[in-house]
Amino acid sequence: MKVLLLCLSIVYGAQGFIVCPPDACALVRCAAVTAENCDGVIKQNGGFCGCCDSCETYLAEGDDCSFTFLLGVPSTAQCGPGLHCNMHTHKCTANTNKRDLNPCAQELASFTSTHNGLPLLGAHKPVCDSDGYYQPKQCSGSQCYCVTKEGQTIQGYMANAWEAQHMTCQCARDQYEYMQTGLIGRLFYCTSDGSYQNYQCLGDTCHCTDSNGNVMANSPSVNIGQIDILKC
């Protein structure tokens, strides 16, 4: 991390934004971020330059949240479930909508009030997004698995917790939501843990893709019959 911060101190652009060189992550060793050591939201590739996962801890109502607006600097905290950062007061304020009634926020609130935020044997601490829904990847005990935004398990995708550092479940979630529309024709290429393969195909043409399934810049394309020669 010291190496990364040193590099970043040199690469600020003229507008004050952090500009990451292509090899910024080459010397970075990421510490594991799990639901057990993150009292908040786990952001996939949310650290400097997207090199590592990060933890955004939850702020309580009335806490100062002005620092969450710093441009180019990854946030380390956000207002907790049922709260938002008031743009005028820069304080965490209770929502006036039903966001705090969404399922993951409700389970997390129950977990916190029942267990005082301390993990007990057999207790599941959910990982929520900023809208109070479940993040695609959830872990309980020694297993990690993929879920819908409402928390329903997506069958067929699971991994041991110690092997799930790069597990995103984004492919499993996107595939599930696409199937719920009733549409047909799009194929999803997911790994066994529900993450996107490093390639995706549209029709008979395949490209290299990132962890969200988006085609990477300058990616070569090959016919689906030649997928084995696509080096991603």
CA distance 137 to 156: 13
pTM of the complete model:
0.55
Tens-digit pLDDT string for the chain (232 aa): 444 443 444 344 433 344 566 676 877 788 888 877 887 778 777 677 778 888 888 888 899 887 765 545 677 888 888 788 877 788 888 876 555 678 998 888 777 765 555 555 566 789 999 888 999 999 988 999 999 999 999 999 999 999 999 999 999 999 999 999 988 878 899 999 999 998 888 888 888 888 888 888 888 888 888 888 888 8
CA distances from 81 to 63, 78, 112, 123, 149 (A): 13, 9, 11, 19, 15
Q: Are 123 and 115 in contact (CB under 8 A)?
A: yes
Q: Which residues contact 177 (CB under 8 A, 6 or more apart)?
A: 148
**Residues, the chain:** 232
CA distance 140 to 151: 13
CA distances from 44 to 10, 61, 147, 204 (A): 25, 25, 16, 30
CA distance 65 to 75: 10
